Amino acid sequence: MIITSRLFRRLSLVATAVFIISVAALSAAPLRLATLAPKDTSFDKTLRKMGQAWKTGTNGKASLIVYAGGSQGSESELINKMRINRLHAALLTGIGLSEIDESVAVFQKVPLLYRNFDELEHVMEKMTPVLEERILEKGFVVLSWIDSGWVRIFSKQELITPDDMRQSKLFTWAGDPKQTDLLKKMGFRPIAIDSTEIVSSLTTGLVDTVPMPPFYALASQTYSTAPYMLDFNYAPITGAIVITKRMWDRFTPEEQAAMKAAAEEAGKEMTVSGRKESEESIRVMIDNWNLKTHKLNDAQNAQWQAISTEAYGHIRDNTVPGPIWDQVTGILEAFRSGAN
């Protein structure tokens, strides 16, 4: 019995040591964050700067590796990789976030809902706490929100009216059948493909019209195959930095506070730089690459607004949950009436 007890104690000590070493190794392992934002853009650089702040604020516990430019796949793939712990964090667009919780679709999947940044900022201020709770229930923690200008419509042939776009082959995100169905109900011909295949699909002719951020159109040289841009605020470009709750819970409250503060600062920087780069990208494509743009006149704008408003009846309780839609439209109505 004495030998057995000694052996048991030794085994217990060994097991404890192995456990401590394993936990230390997990804590010391770098966090892996991925994004579709192209490498060496301001977004990529800001995320790397945030990583340095995380490392400092956690005494080296939270070192960060950033995978930019879609190197880890589409946003659907990033989310799946986070769920199985191959990635720990991501900078996602509103499109990707809506795959975690469909309520986020109210920011980026609704055409012409927001007229300007003031409206968008007001709604985000009111609604992001609600959306963060919903996202947390799905296993992800939102560290900061961003926006970076407006989606514009790029096309191989000039299009001006909704009827023009109905004749085109319109890109839509793969893995989002609700959005595909919505576009079909609006009379469009959506082609669902992964976002990482946009450029090649334009080249082959699989699609010929793509709503996208101007800075991405510049970075990916989309202007070479889609040299026309319809210049109006189709939908805001929104997003957030998220981390899995599994990984987040490994940090102390003090470490979490430091990481969140750095992420919020990064979000502010990306919002400012993103809006600026969006407009600068358009100017560069016009001046250097012969991009042809068209601004809507009042009558044309009314056509787009009419078809978008007609679609809102399909969006509620389909693309966007009914209660979230009602909250957002109520907030907008109050804001526009000056009753905010």
Question: Which has the closest alpha carbon to 269: 49, 17, 21, 19?
Answer: 49
Cα 251 to the center of its chain, rounded Å: 25
- H helices within the chain, ranges in order? 2-28, 42-57, 75-83, 94-100, 105-108, 117-137, 162-166, 177-185, 198-204, 214-219, 245-248, 253-289, 298-315, 322-337
Tokens (6 digits) for 260: 């969140």
Q: Which class for 330: exposed (0-12), middle (13-18), buried (19 or more C-beta within 10 A)?
A: exposed
| In-domain check, residue 144 | yes
Q: Is residue 265 part of a domain?
A: yes
Q: In degrees to the nearest 10, what's the CA dihedral of 218, 46, 238, 257?
A: 170
Question: Residue 210 corresponds to which amino acid?
Answer: V
Instruction: Find tokens 């394993």 and name the residue.
Output: 22
User: What's residue 176's pLDDT?
Assistant: 84
Residue 124, domain member (yes or no): yes
Q: Could you tell me if residue 25 is inside a domain?
A: no
Cα atoms in the 13 Å half-sphere on the side-chain side of 313: 5
* 179 part of a folded domain: yes
Give the pair of three-digit tokens for residue 31.
């966090």
Cβ partners under 8 Å of residue 292, min gap 6: 158, 227, 228, 229
Structural domain containing residue 252: 31-337
Length of the chain: 340
CA distance 276 to 115: 18
pLDDT digits (tens, 9 = 90+) for 58-70: 999 999 999 999 9
Nearest partner of 127 among 314, 321, 337, judged by Cα: 321
CATH at residue 294: 3.40.190.170
Model confidence at 194, in pLDDT bands (50, 70, 90)?
A: confident
Do residues 278 and 43 make contact, with C-beta atoms less than 8 angstroms apart?
A: no
Please check whether residue 6 lies inside any domain of the structure. no
Of the candidates 208, 210, 267, 241, the residue with the CA atom closest to the CA atom of residue 140: 241
Write the pLDDT tens digit of every residue in 286-304.
999 999 999 999 999 999 9
Name the pLDDT band for 322 (thresholds 50, 70, 90).
very high
The whole-chain average pLDDT of the chain stands at 91
| Count of structural domains, the chain | 1
Q: What is the pLDDT of residue 17?
A: 43
pLDDT of 14 above 90: no
Phi, psi of 136 (to 5 degrees): -60, -40
pLDDT-derived band at 142, boundaries 50, 70, 90 = very high
Mean pLDDT of 173-190: 89
CA-wise closest residue to 199 among 182, 178, 220, 218 = 220
Cα separation values, 209 from 73, 137, 152, 198, 310, Å: 22, 36, 11, 10, 22
Angle at 280 between CA 286 and CA 183, to 5 degrees: 75
In a domain, 235, yes or no: yes
In whole angstroms, give the CA distance from residue 93 to residue 204.
26
